[in-house]
Structure formats: C-alpha cells, structure tokens
Amino acid sequence: MIRIYRQLLIAQIQAAAQYRIQAVLWMLFSIIRPVIFLAAWTAVAAAQGGSVGAYTTSDFAAYYIALTIVGHLTTAWNSFEFEFEVRQGRLSPKLLRPLHPLHYSVVENLIWKVTTFLPLLLVCVVIALTFQVRWTGEWWHLALFVPSIVLAAALSFMIGWVVATSTFWLQRINTVNTLLQRTSFIFAGQIAPLSLMPTALQVVSYALPFAYVLAIPAEILRGGVTPERGLLYLAGQTVWLGLSIVAFQFAWRAGLREYSAVGA
C-alpha cells in the first residue's frame, strides 16, 4: 500500500501542478468567512469594553485564526467530486481496479492541503499581526492538537464519503451537501465559539459531529481547553470517527448494489 500511495502522490503532484492558481484561489476563498466573523466579533468586543464573555479581542483573533487553519486541514470535497464521477461515468474505471476509490481521494486531499498550507500560513500571520493575536496555550495543547487534527480530518473525510454514497440512490446530492454545510455552519463553531452560544445550541453542538471537526480542534490549538476536557474531546472525536467508518462501510456495500454504472 505504501508503494501505491507513493506512486499516486507523484501522479497527483504532477496533475495538481497544472492547476496551481486554482488551488491557491480555493484556499483564499476558505479564509474569507472566518475573517468576516473575526472582524465582526472584534468590533462587538471593542464596543463592550474589550471582551464578550470570556473572549477578549485577542482571544477571538486566536480562535478564528485557529479555525481557519483547522478548516483548511479538515476540508473534504469528495462528496461533490464523487457525484460528478458517478454522473460522468468516471467511477467505473476506478471500481474495476483492485484499489478502493477512497484512496484516490485521500491522495488528492493530502496534496491540496500540503501544497496550499504554506500560503495559508502566510495569510494567517498577516491576520495575526493585524489583530495583535496573543497565543495563551501550553506545550501540551500543541501535543493534543496533533491527534485532534488528524481525527478531525479523518472524520470530515469520512462524513464526506457517507454523504457521497447517497449519490447511488439520489443521483444529485447538491442539496444534501448544502444541508450539511448549513448545519455545520451553525453547530461547528463558525458563527461564534461554542461557549458563547446559547446552552441549548451548545448541547446540540456537542452531540453532533460537526464541532469535533472544527470548533474543538480550534479550541485545543488556541489553548482554550483543560487537559481533562481535551482528552474528553479526543474521545468524542474517536467515537464519531468510528461511527462514520461503520456508516460508510454499510452505505458503500448497499450503494454498490444500486449502482447502475450510467455513462460507463
């Protein structure tokens, strides 16, 4: 498998090299939303004497910069691509090979993140300087962040694949994707840090998987959690990842029975 991944990575780097501008533009688009919320919340904090709840202007900036980095590292667009592949008949050649189609997505996803991470960090440094960010974390926050971001990226990827398999039944899944994005927008800590949301929304957020993809790794990176709570969050991420893998395997097996190989 290592040899397969090595060769897929080489091929994907070659293919991605031809679309450099597009990759950087997508990366820049992903920054716009957190920056807007950062600007809004810092304005609110400034109007209220420098803080909202436990968040100072600097905390907001740290949170949204962390959220931008986490968002970049956990983004997964495989459900959009999967629908396109099914409709265009491009899934069939992959199904004919002794390698699960999921592996091609892993490589594409990794290459995009690696090739656009450096420019993203540069943009984040500029934002950090502009908003005078102060990082308040400890070394163990960074140690916790590593498994947390890996789990979050894997969870986001697997949720994407569960949604992708609905293409086998629905043919078009844009609405499913939109619903998922809107739900994530509310419950993943994009509008505000979870602790600033109404209690009921917080409860729902911790019960759904979306916060485990974005808000929780961002809070860990920002240094906003205790060690006990950080470990609890990792456990939550692991549970959701396990559930998403089981759901995917079930949906994939059932979906292949429905596959009509249209256009291929």
Name beta bridge partners: 55.
Answer: 52
115 binds another protein (CB under 8 A): no
| 97 sits near another protein (criterion: CB under 8 A) | yes
- The Cα–Cα gap between 174 and 86 comes to 13
Total of residues contacting another protein (CB under 8 A)? 24
Under the criterion CB under 8 A, does residue 20 sit at the interface with another protein? no
Interatomic CA distance for residues 163 and 248, integer angstroms: 9
Alpha carbon distance 194, 186 (integer Å): 10
Taking CA atoms, 104 is separated from 36, 95, 209, in Å, by: 34, 11, 24
Residues whose CB is less than 8 angstroms from the CB of residue 200 and which lie 6 or more positions away in sequence, other chains included? none
10 touches another protein (CB under 8 A): yes
Site for another protein in 241-260 (CB under 8 A): 256-257, 259-260
Q: Which stretch binds another protein (CB under 8 A): 37-45, 97-105, 125-133, 217-225?
A: 97-105
Angle at 186 (CA atoms; ends 181, 192), nearest 5 degrees: 125
126 sits near another protein (criterion: CB under 8 A): no
- Number of Cβ atoms within 10 Å of the Cβ of 19: 12
Closest CB 5 distance from another protein, rounded Å: 9
CB of 158 to another protein, least distance (A): 21
Asked if residue 49 binds another protein (CB under 8 A), the reply is no
When asked if residue 14 is in the footprint of another protein (CB under 8 A), the reply is yes
Q: By CB under 8 A, is residue 28 in contact with another protein? A: no
Q: Which residues of this chain interact with another protein, rule CB under 8 A?
A: 3-4, 6-8, 10-11, 14-15, 18, 89, 92-93, 95-99, 256-257, 259-261, 264
